[in-house]
């Protein structure tokens, strides 16, 4: 590691956060893991210790700024400092904007955007006192490509991208403090079972979803060589083109989601784990068969890339 091996991860009890904790543990790192659910944290902490690392847990609701500040202070005391903080908390609710209760939209913004702001507000003063540190901000493809049927999620991810950019501007005089954004495409995690769902259809992953371990490896690399932007699962240039073609991408995605919600297996409305942690450990992956074929996918990367391709054609005067 560039500066050390003292790692803090919020959202560490399942999925990408859990996989990243174990990946750091294999490097012999010392970790403090935070999340709402004790059972999930204890499960991942035990796996970290088995992998060769040291791990402590802290129960924390990252939407509570005061609780995050206490968690950060405790982590600093336990580790003797913090070299890298990975903000990985994220939830979603799927459904047309007006079909989803406004309270659920608020909850997504609190969990995905405000919680990361709380994390940064708690850890950046520690980094400044140390003179170094790496804050890793988990965003997603949704920070570039608009997602109909996930309006609050899109708002939170676009917001996270702007937040990171603003922080980098403010920290320009601190060359050893880094803000690193990570933008994966679809990742096979238990988050698919944790999401709120008002589509009337059962949620599944599209073919070719990334493994959590692939994202975890990218985060571990940032501890050695920080960089502003890491894109996983698609060329960064394609995302930029998709961003330029966003109106077309949004229209295509909306049409696809309308079709999908009519054809997929039915499901009752649920708030998922937006308001309470899951019962028991969730693990790292969803357990769905990878490479699943069929029409019942949550989102389709192909729609975004098709929009990007259309943008290229229009730029070339081919449209």
Round to whole Å and give the CA distance between 58 and 36. Answer: 8
Q: Which of 97, 149, 153, 198 is catalytic?
A: 153
Report whether 229 contacts 181 (CB < 8 A): yes
Using CA atoms, how far apart are residues 2 and 312, in angstroms rounded to an integer? 40
Task: Find tokens 């950046």 and name the residue.
Answer: 124
| Residue 198 annotated among the catalytic residues of the structure | no
- Residue 50 zone, left/alpha/beta (φ > 0; ψ -120 to 50; rest): alpha
Beta carbons within 8 Å of 105's beta carbon, 6+ residues apart: 93, 97, 151, 152
* 251, 252, 257, 263: CA torsion to nearest 10: 130
The DSSP symbol for 221 reads: H
Q: How far apart are CA 22 and CA 15, in angstroms?
A: 11
Q: Which residues pair with 255 in a beta bridge?
A: none
- Please say whether the beta carbons of 93 and 104 come within 8 A: yes
Q: Give the residue numbers marked as catalytic.
A: 153
């Amino acid at each position: 590691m560039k500066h050390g091996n003292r790692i803090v991860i919020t959202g560490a009890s399942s999925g990408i956060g859990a996989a990243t904790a174990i990946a750091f543990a294999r490097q012999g790192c010392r970790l403090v893991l935070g999340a709402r659910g004790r059972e999930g944290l204890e499960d991942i902490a035990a796996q970290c210790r088995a992998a060769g690392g040291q791990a402590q847990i802290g129960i924390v609701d990252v939407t509570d700024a005061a609780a995050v500040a206490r968690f950060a202070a405790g982590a600093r005391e336990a580790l003797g400092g913090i070299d890298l903080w990975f903000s990985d908390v994220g939830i979603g609710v799927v459904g047309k904007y007006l079909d989803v209760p406004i309270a659920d939209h608020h909850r997504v913004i609190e969990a995905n955007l405000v919680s990361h702001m709380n994390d940064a507000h708690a850890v950046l003063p520690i980094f400044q006192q140390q003179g170094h540190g790496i804050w890793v901000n988990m965003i997603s493809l949704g920070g570039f490509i608009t997602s109909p049927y996930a309006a609050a999620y899109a708002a939170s991810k676009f917001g996270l991208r702007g937040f990171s950019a603003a922080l980098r501007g403010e920290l320009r005089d601190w060359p050893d403090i880094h803000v690193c954004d990570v933008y994966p495409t679809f990742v096979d995690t238990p988050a698919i079972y944790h999401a709120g769902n008002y589509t009337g259809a059962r949620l599944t992953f599209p073919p070719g979803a990334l493994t959590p371990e692939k994202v975890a490896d990218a985060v571990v690399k940032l501890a050695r060589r920080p960089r502003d932007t890491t894109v996983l699962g698609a060329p960064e240039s394609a995302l930029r083109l998709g961003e330029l073609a966003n109106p077309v991408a949004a229209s295509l995605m909306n049409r696809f989601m309308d079709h999908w919600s009519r054809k997929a297996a039915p499901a009752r409305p649920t708030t998922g784990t937006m308001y309470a942690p899951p019962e028991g450990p969730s693990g790292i992956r969803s357990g769905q068969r990878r490479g699943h074929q069929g029409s019942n996918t949550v989102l389709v990367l192909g729609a975004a890339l098709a929009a990007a391709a259309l943008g290229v054609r229009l730029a070339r005067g081919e449209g």
